Chains A and B, each alone.
Chain A
Amino acid sequence: MPIVTSNDLIEVPILTRVEGEGGVTIRLRDGAIDKVELNIYEPPRLFEALLRGRPLEETPDITARICGICPVAYQMSSVHALEAALGIQITPRIRRLRRLLYCGEWIESHALHIHLLHAPDFFGAASGIALAQRFPEEIKRGLQLKKFGNRMLEVVGGRAIHPINVRVGGFHRLPKTKEMAALIPHFEWGVQAAIETTRWAATFSFPDFEQPYEYVSLSHPDEYPMNEGDIVSSTGLRIPVTQYNQNFVEEHVAHSTALHAVRRTERTSYFLGPLARLNFNRDRLSPSARRLADDVGLPADCRNPFKNIIARCLELVHAYEEALAILQDYNSSGIAHVDYQYREGSGCAATEAPRGLLFHEYQIDANGKIVSGRIIPPTSQNQRQIERDLMEYLTSRLRAGASRDELAIDCERLVRTYDPCISCSTHFLKVRWEECT
């Protein structure tokens, strides 16, 4: 097994992801980790530029194309931001239906990551396929859980990938009551199945690693955050989303084509995602999820990033349970969307994508055209934190005598805890080693 030399360079050259490609470089100097870089080298996709001059109505469908696994998040952040610019107040029924759609996305995204992308790490399995041979019933259950999330997206969003039913002001059409009622038995099963998944994940063996993170998420007084809320942080920050730019900023770094978001004043990293959401909003989880969080012994202020998988499982329970409640109460009466008039203005919004807070900001002209747009995805905001975590965790592993191969594997595992889009494919990493001269 190759040992680490005092001036070593460990390169993980390809961390391919859904919407991009990246790698990790670890430099050692005098036996200690000197630098860790998350290298995102995919060319910028320029979505904001693509939107300029286009009718604002195209924005939800164009931005949804940024990601195949969380298109709803892009649709939700974009319509909320545009509705803020246009002064639109949606109806409570539309708002509830949007939460239902978001539940569908959380379900399909979380179920995929838990079972096929993250769980294999806890058993030394190379992939979800390898894990399926060892835990076929658990993986089957996970695929069923994902399937009903996809089904929800089809019914409410029009199709499972890149839904097409979302529009500024509401929806193009309301789902039929019969279609929604047909989902109820699946979601009753899903609540129990997600609970079983959580109990399974809670038995995993977690590395002993905790950090003093600054967690950031939305927080809403009445509900677990999805579409609305203030931005809160574990340093005590609580701001409306309109003050995002006063508190957070994106920076260019030489080794990444993706911008790094940091706190504006301190230039420090912060942590988004299920664990952050759960730490701030645990008391607003659905009843079953809340009880389960206590049952599985998740600490109130969990600082272990590897336990993100438990938070993700609890959100899976929550999403199923909330979706079930909405389905049971649903009827297709009422308007599908709110009408509006064009006006010059600007607006912003943040919603909680499966991977964390997704910020959108738009300026529109009096003819309903996009003047400018800005999109700050959760993966961009987590990048700096991932690098800091890699530095700390690999340092501790190096001190414990980990080999180069083990460090490369540790590197992948830690990145995957965040479920950034990068993590989608890290099971297929090729690791290249070079000696420093």
Chain B
Amino acid sequence: MSWPIVIGLGSYHGDDQAGWLVISRLRERSVPEVRLACLQHPSELLDVIEADRDLVICDACVGNEPTGSIHQWTWEPGQIIQHRHSESDENRIHRKDRDLPHQHRSGSHNLSLFDVLELGYSLGTFPESVEIWTIEGEFWVPGTEPSVRVQSASVSVADSIWERHRHA
């Protein structure tokens, strides 16, 4: 087993940089550069995932919890499983077609993250299970810095990923 590929999804719009900040923190921890990537659109995953390698995706999200809240999910074909973050028992909530970051089923030339994962799995180019981390954001103004809470949460996510995979 070796380091998974860790993808940060985001943009330069305030808290939407959450995924990129996670990658930045992992770089500081000397995770091999070839295992890290900052992308803007989920469809770009199809260009960078080429082998049967564990995949971790980090992104900002909009939910009902306070800014900076962390969610951890596992995607498996046809469903997304939410894990209670920071709880040892990891109660699982199985939800089919649960909303994911970038999920926009009304469609466009840009596929949603859910669509991309399904497509990659159908083609046999993605692993059967994908670890997803999301951070609740609040401010999305183009060109602005991410909020302090999101910056802090990004460090926590990066450190959690590091702890989980550092012995790989």
Contact = CB atoms under 8 A, between A and B. Distances in A.
Interface in B26-54: 40-41, 44, 46-47
A16 B106 contact: yes
B122 A136 contact: yes
Interface string B105-137: 111111100010011001111000000000000
Contacts of A425: 106-108
B46 A147 contact: yes
A121 to B, nearest CB: 14
Contacts of B111: 116
Interface string B123-158: 111000000000000000000000000000000000
B119 A132 contact: yes
Nearest to B44: A160
A428 B107 contact: yes
A68 interface: yes
Nearest to A139: B123
Nearest to A113: B109
Contact of A18 (B110, B122, B124): B110
A140 B106 contact: no
A425 B122 CA distance: 20
Nearest to B47: A147
Interface string A133-151: 1001001100100010010
Contacts of B41: 161
A262 interface: no
Interface string A407-429: 00000000000000100111110
A116 to B, nearest CB: 8
A428 B115 CA distance: 12
A16 B119 CA distance: 20
A132 B108 CA distance: 18
B94 to A, nearest CB: 21
A132 B122 contact: yes
Interface in A70-127: 112, 116, 127
Given A136-B124, A143-B123, A129 B109 contact: no
A127 B118 CA distance: 11
7 contacts: A68-B109, A129-B122, A136-B123, A136-B124, A424-B107, A425-B107, A425-B108
